Structure 1
Amino acid sequence: MRKLVLQTDFGLVDGAVAAMYGVAYGVSPELDIHDLTHEIPPYDIFAASYRLYQTIQYWPAGTVFVSVVDPGVGSARRSVVARTASGHYVITPDNGTLTHLQHYLGLLAVRQIDEVKDALPGSLDSHTFHGRDVYAFNGARLASGLRDFSHLGEPISVDSLVQLPLGTVTTTAHSVAGTIDILDIRFGSLWTNIPRQAFTQLGIEAGDFMQVSIRQNGQLRYQNQMPFTQTFAAVAVGEPLIYINSLLNIGVAINQDSFSKLYHIGTGVDWEITLTQLAR
């Protein structure tokens, strides 16, 4: 019996998530079900992809993840189950949700789920709730051991999966640039795709100041000098800082305030951030 972890953009204001739980427990009352989040912004496939990457490696190998951010539900987009190099399983639409896992962790195998043959019995007249009728149902069968990965659909090429564009990281002798991938939502901090190694190669030490420039589609939206610190408390309340986040990437924050809201900074490959070393 594996753990089953659910992620959606459904929210908790109606019965959608509860219906997924009900279907899963109908497969096996002994299932151990958890929530990753149900607050992915509606239709935001990139955020769903990132949250899987943020979370999956901290769960035991064998855990089954069901991720449903599916603006193309009922269309020709495929339903798939993937086995990651870390030994986890993900059931999701083939719409880019596996982008970060494929790029950063690696996928060993992928199979296409038959949305007719492997659907919840009695559900075929509806085509708009595959989260319940295909993904939760098959996630529960896989997690409970009633269906083995090798018998859940037909194998397809990992390279055939839909991939979302990811930002690139570039370095010079005195700077590093990347993109703002996502927010630490509750606190409004900016999480970049710049890994710690690319940053520390500049020889930056705690307390050093850098110039931070943020552009959207090439247009400068923010520029300031701020220190690299190990903790938020290293600067006064309301002051900005650079830090290494929990995924060992570079983050930019304001102590006890929302950087994103204060300066109207968004996320995605259109938002580029450059950190430039200042003369000591």
Structure 2
Amino acid sequence: MRPIALLTDFGLTDPYVGQMHAALMRLAPGAPLIDISHQVEPFGTAQAAFFLAASAPYFPRDTVFVCVVDPRVGTSRRLLGAQAGSQSFLAPDGGLLDLLLDTPGLPEAHIVDLSDAASDYGLSATFHGRDVFAPLAARLSAGEALETLGPPLSREAVMRQTWAKPQAEDGAVLAHVLHVDHFGNCVLSLRQGFLFADAVAGLSLAPGEKLPLRRVRAYAELGPGEPGLLLGSQGFYELAAYQDSVAMRLTLSPGDPVRILYPKGMERQDL
């Protein structure tokens, strides 16, 4: 049985995660179950997309990922399956796969529409994690091929979100906060490989505003309360402050836009 990884916004107070585990243990006995997180902010698609893209490279090559952050559960929204290398991904069509599918170096993903396959299940219209995604994941874990579960979709047919890709502007790059971690660091939609100069010119959170910002390699290179830009361990750039919450200092939350200002004369690169 292939391992199954779970990523949801269900939290740990209600019985939902336990019921998903129970359904998978019944339908895919012996399959290892791994929890990425169930503490995604409610309806936090951008945060979930970051968790998935950052985590998938560290999982076994044959893992089946079940990603359920689904504000439109029970409606006519599509259910997606994606096969990238030997890993399989199940998610609603709402942008949750955006960052994953745009990962540099990822094998070309084959995407299928699982909506018809999902119609075979569905004991409730409000808990497709347990009633639809779990049975589909169990079939994949047992060895069924993803392409047998639905017709192919092009990448262009999959819903895209504006926060998933940085946008070039005159003298700046517009990114979005994907996640605020336990320490108050703000993970941005800027990946490793995006080329900045040795310095950045500043940070803008509102039109015409310019705040000081320094590019550093480690948190401890920053002074007390000083905001900095560094490449974090998850392969994305972060706004951070040394032993302080940059999110609180700058009043930033997931989904907020930020502009990293270039040094004068620097051209944008690797958008």
Could you tell me how far 1:3 is from its partner in structure 2? 1.2
SS for the counterpart of 2:258 is: strand
* Distance (Å, rounded) in 2 between the aligned partners of 1:183 and 1:49: 10
Q: How has the CA–CA distance of structure 1 residues 108 and 265 changed in structure 2, closer, same or farther, with 3 Å as cutoff?
A: same
What is the aligned partner in structure 2 of residue 77 from structure 1?
Answer: 77
Distance 1:115 1:219, change over 3 A: farther
Computing the radius of gyration over CA atoms, which structure comes out larger, 1 or 2? 1
Partner of 1:101: 100
Q: Would the alpha carbon gap of residues 46 and 219 (structure 1) be closer, same or farther in structure 2, given more than 3 Å must change? A: farther
- Aligned ranges 1:58-77 → 2 under 5 Å: 58-77=58-77
What letter is aligned with 2:40?
Answer: I
- Aligned residues of 1:176 and 1:198 also touching (Cα < 8 A): no
Task: Return structure 1 stretches of 4+ with deviation > 6 angstroms.
Answer: none
Give the unaligned 5+ runs of structure 2: 265-271
Structure 1 position 277 matched with structure 2 position 253: no
Residues 90-130 of structure 1, C-alpha deviation per residue, up to 9 Å, x if partnerless? Answer: 1111122121122234422323242222x2xxx53x21111
Structure 2 residue 215 is the aligned partner of structure 1 residue 228: yes
Structure 1: gaps spanning 5 or more residues:
none
CA contact (8 A) 1:171 1:198 kept: no
Select 2:177's aligned residue among 169, 178, 181. 181
Q: C-alpha separation between the residues in 2 aligned to 1:24 and 1:253?
A: 39
TM-fit CA distance, 1:197: 4.1
Alignment of 1:200-219 (within 5 A): 200=196, 202=197, 204=198, 210-216=200-206, 218=207
Amino-acid identity (%): 27
CA change 1:148–1:198 in 2 (3 A) is: closer
Residue 75 of structure 1: SS of its match in structure 2?
coil
What CA distance in whole angstroms lies between the structure 2 residues aligned with 1:171 and 1:219? 13
Tell me if structure 2 keeps the 8 A contact 1:240–1:254.
yes
Distance in 1, matches of 2:239 and 2:56, equals 24
Deviation at 1:2, TM superposition (A): 1.4
Q: 1:91 to 1:223 in 2, by over 3 A?
A: same
- Residue 236 of structure 1: how far off its partner (Å): 3.9
For normalisation by structure 1, the TM-score amounts to: 0.82
Q: Answer yes or no: is 1:265 the counterpart of 2:262.
A: no
Q: Report how many aligned residue pairs link the two structures.
A: 260
In the alignment, residue 205 of structure 2 is paired with which amino acid?
A: R
CA distance, structure 1, for counterparts of residue 205 and residue 227 of structure 2: 17
* Coordinate RMSD, CA, aligned: 2.5
Counterpart in the other structure of 2:52 = 52
Structure 1 Cα separation of the partners of residues 93 and 225 of structure 2: 42
Structure-2-length-normalised TM-score: 0.85
Question: CA 1:197–1:157 in 2, change beyond 3 Å: closer, same or farther?
Answer: closer
Q: Give the strand-richer structure, 1 or 2.
A: 1
Distance 1:10 1:28, change over 3 A: same
